[in-house]
């Protein structure tokens, strides 16, 4: 794998080359988010793929099956340690704050590793409240994967369209009372929709085991 500064430089470049979309709310698309070796290592992490009949529209329905770039997994997997170190670094924090006009100091890094399969769906929601930043990056290699983008809505009841999705491609938004998104159920043909969701969450976040650095807020 490339050295940590090369990883940071790749993230910085992807942020710099972001594409802005203003409808139905401001969001951004980013590409080539990690160096190729790191991207493949993320895609190949050996976490078991959960299977369930229904999410009831919420990830927390199956909390026991969720995986995170946690302190424990940082010790187990080098790519988890590298990615969390990068997104914890002041260099990347300053770049995110400048690119998306957000303040993150004092918050905590939380990265979820998602493996969604047939029957997966999420009801429209906003992420408002405990999450201060959301970046979702796909690591699916399935040929139909580009059709599995996040669903974006005008509001809770009006669908707008699908966000871009693909290998090492991302969606970014700042949670607000109009950042409605979810996932409209669609066929996955036995594929797995892999992604990481990068959040910075408030100090009061209760599930400390989900955090990459539970005792160290970003600076």
Q: How many DSSP H helices and E strands does the chain contain?
A: 5, 11
Mean pLDDT of 49-70: 70
Which stretch of 28-42, 49-63, 92-106 has the lowest confidence by average pLDDT? 49-63
- Residue with token string 């430089």: 9
pLDDT in tens, 82-127: 999 999 999 999 999 999 999 999 999 999 999 998 888 899 999 9
List of residues 6+ apart from 112 with CB closer than 8 A: 59, 66, 67, 68, 69, 196, 197, 199, 210
Model pLDDT, residue 61: 47
Give the CA diameter of the chain.
46
The answer, yes or no, to whether residue 55 has pLDDT greater than 80, is no
Model pLDDT, residue 95: 98
Model pLDDT, residue 117: 87
The answer, yes or no, to whether residue 60 has pLDDT greater than 90, is no
The answer, yes or no, to whether residue 58 has pLDDT greater than 70, is no
Architecture per CATH, domain 4-210, reads as Sandwich (2.60)
Model pLDDT, residue 64: 55
Domain ranges in the chain are 4-210
Q: CA–CA separation, 59 vs 120, rounded Å?
A: 9
């Amino acid at each position: 794998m490339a050295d940590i500064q090369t990883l940071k430089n790749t993230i910085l470049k992807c942020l710099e080359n972001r594409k802005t979309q203003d409808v139905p709310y401001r969001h951004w698309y980013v590409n080539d988010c990690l160096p190729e070796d790191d991207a493949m290592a993320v895609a190949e992490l050996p976490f078991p793929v959960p299977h369930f009949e229904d999410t009831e529209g919420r990830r927390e329905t199956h909390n026991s099956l969720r995986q995170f770039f946690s302190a424990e997994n940082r010790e187990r997997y080098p790519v988890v340690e590298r990615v969390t170190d990068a997104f914890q670094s002041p260099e990347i924090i300053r770049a995110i704050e400048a690119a998306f006009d957000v303040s993150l100091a004092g918050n905590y890094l939380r990265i979820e590793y998602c493996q969604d399969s047939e029957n997966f769906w999420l009801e429209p929601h906003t992420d408002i409240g405990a999450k201060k930043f959301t970046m979702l990056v796909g690591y699916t290699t399935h040929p139909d994967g580009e059709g599995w983008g996040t669903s974006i809505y005008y509001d809770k009841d009006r669908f707008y369209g699908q966000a871009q999705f693909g290998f090492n491609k991302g969606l970014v938004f700042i949670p607000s009372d109009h950042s409605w998104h979810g996932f409209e159920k669609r066929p996955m043909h036995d594929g797995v929709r892999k992604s990481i969701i990068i959040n910075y969450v408030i100090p009061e976040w209760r599930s400390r085991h989900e955090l990459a650095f539970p005792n160290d807020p970003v600076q």
